[in-house]
Each structure stands twice: as C-alpha cells, then as structure tokens.
Structure 1
C-alpha cells in the first residue's frame, strides 16, 4: 500500500509540476552525447561528421562520441536508434537518404516520416565512379564499351543496396543500355579496397577516394556533380557524357521521435555553428562536400518531397516493393 501511495504521489507531483521537463531541457546536456555514423570509420562521412561533432561539442559543453554502425546501406544505425533510444537528446544519428528510400524497396522496421525527429540538414556528397589506376578502364567510355560486349561482367561496388550510388549506377546502366553487377559493401574504405584489390572492376562512392585518385592508385572515370570538380577538371560529369543526372545524396542529423523542441533547438544551434566553422568548412571542401543547410522545420518538410521523388525513381527502375 505504501508503494502504491508513493507511486501515486510521484505521478501527482509530476503532473502538478510540468516545469520538470522544461528544467531537464534547460540543463541539457549533462553527459556525453552519442552520434551514430552509419558508415565505416575513415570514409568521407565519418571524417566530416567527426569534424562537425568536435566543434558542436564545444558549444554544447559535453563530448560527442562517434559510434560507427555500418550496414544496410547506412540504415542499420538510424533504425537501431529509432527502435531503442530514448528521445532525450543523448542519441543522434546521421541520416542518409537510404532511410527514406529503402522502405519503398522492401519491408523495414521504421517509418521515415514518423520515427525520427529531424534536427538539421547539413551537406551532401560528391560521388564518382572509380577504377584501378593501372586497370583496363581509362575512361567512362571504356567501361561502357566493355559492358556492352560483356553483359553483366562489369562488377561495381557501392556502400550498399538502396543507396544513392546503387540507384545511380542502375540508372546509368538503363540509360546506356547495359547491365552491371552490383556488389554491396559497408562503406567507402571497403569499396576503395575492393577496386584496389581487383575484387570489383569499379566502384561508385563518395569522395573518400580522392587521396587515392590524386596518388594515382585509383582513376576517376566520371563525377555525378552539376559541374566538374576544381581538383579534377579533366574528369567529365554525367551531363558531359550525355546523361541528364546529378546525384548528391544530401544528409542531416536526427534523433528518435518525440524529442523536446528545446533540446532540438540546442542541438540544431550547436551544429549550425559547427557548419559555419572555418575548420569544418575546410574539411568539407577537402572532400568536395557543399553546405546544404536546412533548419529543423524545413528539414522535416523536405522529407515528404524527398520520399515522393524517391518513389518515382524506384518505380521507374522496377525496384519498388509490391505493396507500393
């Protein structure tokens, strides 16, 4: 009976003191924050997110610990957070567009429109197709010519099924009238190694390949940006090659659903300051990643538009799940 009374008293006190939650939000953060990076360590996402987290942590007054949880084309980390983390601001995740796309392709444990609190939209990737530096493909045309003569024999690595790289390569294949064979990996470090080791003929990935291309170990066949890259002016864009495509796969940060708006605002402001930091901008520039800022409200609104656009692409490629 005493236990029941104690529980009832605690409930009444909480109901009578709605300011308790406000106080918690005001004090946030009081301990380290975990930021899930759903890719392998050492890739462009990992490096740039670490740079942002270091600056944001200074503004928040608590460390931000990076937790690499690769797999599922960048969806394992966000899905785990959505399913298990408390909405208290101490578990966050980078959110790749695969989170919006994969539910259109297969049954998933999360709903992109309901299971996340979108905090801030940050930037996007520079993508490109790489081949081994001393390999047979000297140009994009060489790869396509081989693919036409040898259907299905061009193997390409990406960070996973359903990623923008996977969808992009299948879109290119359809446009060129060829068939590629997809080999999924967990991130940039693995796709680079696969090409260097001859395990795949090419790879499509974000600009973690840049130092290896500059060193001559890898060759950049094409980039997926709107314009040619300053550091690789001789490498054609897909548009240069006659295809009307630009793929940049923008991303941001989210937490579990139901986060306190005041905590969301604190995290947003800290990462916005990080995004404006000269050191962070230098890191983004190093990997040819362009700032693509959206505040919390605009980021959330963009999700519906993103999902609608992804649905159209997935259906055109014949990759949509039956229920869609």
Structure 2
C-alpha cells in the first residue's frame, strides 16, 4: 500500500474513534512506550519534618532534601509538622498515596508513643522504611549560672530541692524526655519536666533564662562552646568527639544510654522500584560535602541502614520500646 494511503487509513481510524473528528497520528503513537507508566519521579516530592522550622532537626532534613533533589531531578520540599513528640509525620502517612510523593522523617518516638497513648498509626504495619541516614546525639545542659557544675552536683541539688529543678525536653514520650526520666529514677531524684515542640523552642527558653536545664539534641553545642551553657553529660554509649572532656551519664555513675537513629519513610504498600529510587538518592546524600558539613555542625554521625535492615530495626525497636515504657510505668491504660 502506498504511504499516502497508509496515512489516510490512519486518519480514518482515528476519525471513527473520535466521532468523526480527524486527527493526525504521530508515528509510534500506539507503541508500547506511549502507554508506559509515568517515570518516577516526575513532580515535586513532599518530605515531612515533624519538628518546628529553624531547629537542628529541620536543618538536617533540609540538607538531605536539597541534596536528594539533585539526584532525583525534582524538588524535595520540606513541610514542617511539629507536635505530638515528632509523630505527626508518621500519622500523615496513614491514608497517603503510596506513590513516593509523600515521605516523612522517622524519629525514634514513632516506635514509643503508640505504647503510651492511642495513636492513629502502627509504625510497623503502616509505614515503609526506606533508608536510615543518621542519628541524634543527646545531652544534658544547664545555664552557665546554674548552682551546679557537674551531673553529680546537679543530682545533689535536685535531692535537696525535690521537684524544684525544671528541664526542657522535646515532648512527652520523646527520647530526651524518657532518657532523663529513666536517669532520674536511677539517681533517686524528682525533676520538673517542661515539654516543648522542638529544639529551637528549648534553646529560646534556656537562653532566655526561663528554664535552668534541658535535655535535647546538640543544638546546645555552640552555646556550650561560647560559655552561655554548661554541658553536664551526654547520653550516648561513648563520649562525643566534640566534647571529649564531658562524661557520659553512664560514666557519671548511672546506667542510662540513649541513642536515636532516624531516616526516611513513606506509606505502606510502596512499589519496591520506587523505594529503590528513593533509597539510592538519599544514600547518595551521605557523600555530599554540604550534607556532611550539616551533620558535623549538629554533631550527628552517619548511621546508614538499607531498606530491609531499616524495616527490621523498626520491628525490633517497636518491641524494645514497649518493654521500656512498661518498666517506667508509662504504658497506656486499656
């Protein structure tokens, strides 16, 4: 058949299919490629940071987002959802489309709070664990004019003034809160906890003289270095390399260790191929000099886990947190 006739036949077919309106079909219109699925990603990705803007967590998440955007070829946009101990991101995954366009940070609190109060999500069944990237370093800091200079001094002061020494933390049930409650129980003291929505708010309060002590992430570091705050102890298994002269809580005499890996997750039921694209892009951020600079700024180590290992970590941690909450007598009723 001559090419002109082939062209006319194509027009006739399309004319019939469109109620008589002639369309000119481009070559390959009906090829398999024309019906292929949309390439991922093809539009901006939302990444929830469940903390206020301006804090250390927000800064780290923005560094990861900016770096991943370069690899993914689309913007990764941070949305701050502070409150409820950093669990609002995980809660937002319930009912979200598992298409890879809505993601969240997965802080340790998501495995803990469901044991303490009714939550709208199950951290194992309702989430896809994509990649673990880093973790927090926690410490206990006080104002420079506080009437104690060491952790042992603080314990002695708290015993002499039960319930009179207040400390700020990042929300009921978060790691900075429970670590101090566990330490207080072992030290035989009673402190007055004051919850905040995030590290940025805590820093404003302690630098403004509204609280005398805090338990939180290393956002306190520059203020310790400048002499505005005093670091009493860190909560890791080893001393922080930035503060080699500051003992851990365990070294000070109380067996309390608190370390907190975190990464990126999404809704349940995500396509494994999409998970791999995201995993590879965020893993690559760990080689980005700007990301490493941000992690160093907030004294956060690289803690990498692939998707399978991260999912297994989530399952183990969910069980371990249940035991901790029950031991501290904080389990929800009913």
TM-aligned CA deviation for residue 206 of structure 1: 0.4
TM-aligned CA deviation for residue 267 of structure 1: 0.6
Aligned equivalent of 2:103? 92
Larger radius of gyration: 2
Aligned match for 1:180, one of 191, 199, 222 = 191
The answer on 1:300 being equivalent to 2:317 is: no
- Structure-2-length-normalised TM-score: 0.87
Aligned match for 1:23, one of 24, 31, 37 = 37
Closer, same or farther: CA 20–137 of 1 in aligned 2, 3 Å: farther
Aligned residue pairs total 303
The answer on 1:226 being equivalent to 2:247 is: no
SS in 1 for 2:84: coil
The superposition leaves residues 200-250 of structure 1 with CA deviations (integer Å, 9 ceiling, x where unpaired) of 221100011111111111111111122222322221111210122321111
The superposition leaves residues 254-307 of structure 1 with CA deviations (integer Å, 9 ceiling, x where unpaired) of 011111111111111000000222331222122221111111111111112101
- Structure-1-length-normalised TM-score: 0.89
TM-aligned CA deviation for residue 128 of structure 1: 0.4
The answer on 1:138 being equivalent to 2:152 is: no
- Separation in structure 1 between the aligned mates of residue 156 and residue 208 of structure 2, nearest angstrom: 23
Closer, same or farther: CA 202–223 of 1 in aligned 2, 3 Å: same
SS in 2 for 1:120: strand
The answer on 1:40 being equivalent to 2:52 is: yes
TM-aligned CA deviation for residue 69 of structure 1: 0.9
- Separation in structure 1 between the aligned mates of residue 310 and residue 112 of structure 2, nearest angstrom: 16
TM-aligned CA deviation for residue 84 of structure 1: 4.3
- Separation in structure 2 between the aligned mates of residue 215 and residue 138 of structure 1, nearest angstrom: 16
- Separation in structure 2 between the aligned mates of residue 66 and residue 84 of structure 1, nearest angstrom: 19
Closer, same or farther: CA 125–63 of 1 in aligned 2, 3 Å: same
Aligned equivalent of 1:65? 77
Aligned CA RMSD, in angstroms, stands at 1.8
TM-aligned CA deviation for residue 22 of structure 1: 7.1
Aligned equivalent of 1:104? 115
Aligned match for 1:243, one of 232, 236, 254 = 254
- Separation in structure 2 between the aligned mates of residue 246 and residue 145 of structure 1, nearest angstrom: 21
Unaligned runs of 5+ in 1: 1-18
Aligned equivalent of 1:203? 214
SS in 1 for 2:136: coil
Aligned match for 1:54, one of 44, 51, 66 = 66
SS in 2 for 1:276: coil
Aligned equivalent of 2:137? 126
SS in 2 for 1:293: strand
- Separation in structure 1 between the aligned mates of residue 47 and residue 319 of structure 2, nearest angstrom: 28
The answer on 1:76 being equivalent to 2:88 is: yes
- Separation in structure 1 between the aligned mates of residue 251 and residue 289 of structure 2, nearest angstrom: 32
TM-aligned CA deviation for residue 127 of structure 1: 0.4
- Separation in structure 2 between the aligned mates of residue 279 and residue 211 of structure 1, nearest angstrom: 19
Aligned equivalent of 1:3? none
Aligned equivalent of 1:262? 273
The answer on 1:171 being equivalent to 2:171 is: no
Aligned equivalent of 2:333? 322
Aligned equivalent of 1:278? 289
